A and B are shown apart, each in its own frame.
Chain A
Amino acid sequence: MSQLYPVTVTINAQVYQRKVEARLLLSDFLRHELGLTGAHVGCEHGVCGACTILFDGESARSCLMFAVQADGHSLLTVEGLANSPGQLHPLQQAFWEAHGLQCGYCTPGILMTLLPFLERNPHPTELEIRQALSGNLCRCTGYQHIVDAVKLAADKLAAPG
Chain B
Amino acid sequence: MKPAPFEYQNPDTLEQALGQLAEYGAEAKLLAGGQSLVPAMNFRVAQPRVLIDLNRLGELDFIKQENQTALLIGAMTRERRLEFDPMVAKWSPLLAEAIPFVAHPQIRNRGTVGGSLAHADPAAELPVIMLALGARYKARRASDERWIAASNFFSGMFSTGLAADEILVEIELPPMPPRTGWSFMEIAPRPGDYALMGVAVLIALDDRAACRQARLVYLNAGDGPLEAKEAARLLEGEMPKEAVIEAAAAFAAEKEINPFGNVHASPDFQRHLARVLTGRAIRRAVQRAREDISQ
Contact = CB atoms under 8 A, between A and B. Distances in A.
Contacts of A46: 35, 38-39, 107
B4 A60 contact: no
Contacts of B51: 22
Nearest to B9: A22
B106 A113 contact: yes
What is the interface residue range for chain A against chain B? 20 to 34
B158 interface: no
Given A64-B110, A135-B192, A22 B6 contact: yes
A117 B105 contact: yes
A2 B103 CA distance: 34
Interface string A14-32: 0000000111110010000
Contact of A55 (B104, B109, B192): B109
A36 B55 CA distance: 25
A46 to B, nearest CB: 5
A68 interface: yes
Given A64-B34, A68-B8, A69-B53, A44 B105 contact: no
B5 A60 contact: no
B261 interface: no
Contact of A60 (B41, B55, B110): B110
Interface of B is mostly: loop
A49 interface: yes
A134 interface: yes
Contact of B10 (A68, A116, A132): A68
A49 B106 CA distance: 8
B55 A135 contact: no
B134 interface: no
B2 interface: yes
Interface in A56-89: 58-61, 63-66, 68-69
Contacts of A3: 7-8
Given A45-B43, A134-B190, A134-B192, A60 B2 contact: no
Interface centre among B7, B109, B190 (most CB of A within 10 A): B109
What is the interface residue range for chain B against chain A? 20 to 34
A117 B38 CA distance: 25
B8 to A, nearest CB: 4
A134 to B, nearest CB: 4
B152 interface: no
A21 B51 CA distance: 13
A24 B43 CA distance: 14
A21 B80 CA distance: 29
A23 B109 contact: no
Interface centre among A60, A64, A134 (most CB of B within 10 A): A64
6 pairs of A and B residues whose beta carbons are closest in the complex = A135-B104, A22-B8, A45-B39, A58-B109, A134-B191, A64-B38
Interface of A: 2-3, 5, 21-25, 28, 44-46, 49, 52, 55, 58-61, 63-66, 68-69, 113, 116-117, 130-132, 134-135
23 contacts: A2-B5, A5-B8, A5-B10, A22-B7, A23-B4, A25-B3, A25-B38, A45-B39, A45-B42, A55-B109, A59-B106, A64-B34, A64-B110, A65-B38, A65-B110, A68-B8, A68-B53, A69-B55, A134-B104, A134-B190, A134-B191, A134-B192, A135-B104
